[in-house]
Amino acid sequence: MDEAEAKLSAEALRKKEEKERARQMKKSGPKVKMLRS
């Protein structure tokens, strides 16, 4: 796998993780806000 492909898949993975985190944040709400600050 060349560098561009690796970068692309890493980007996709990060986007997926962010989406997952956002979904969980909606579910658990205030708890996550407390952890963040």
What digits encode the pLDDT tens for the residues 1-37?
699 999 999 999 999 999 998 888 777 766 666 666 5
In order, the DSSP letters of 8-35 are HHHHHHHHHHHHHHHHHHHHHTHHHHHH
CA neighbor of 21 nearest in space, from 6, 35, 9: 35
Count of CB atoms situated within 10 Å of the CB of 12: 10
CA distance 21 to 12: 14
Domain boundaries, the chain: 3-36
Contact 25, 32 (CB under 8 A): yes
**Model pTM?**
0.51
Please give the pLDDT value at position 25: 76
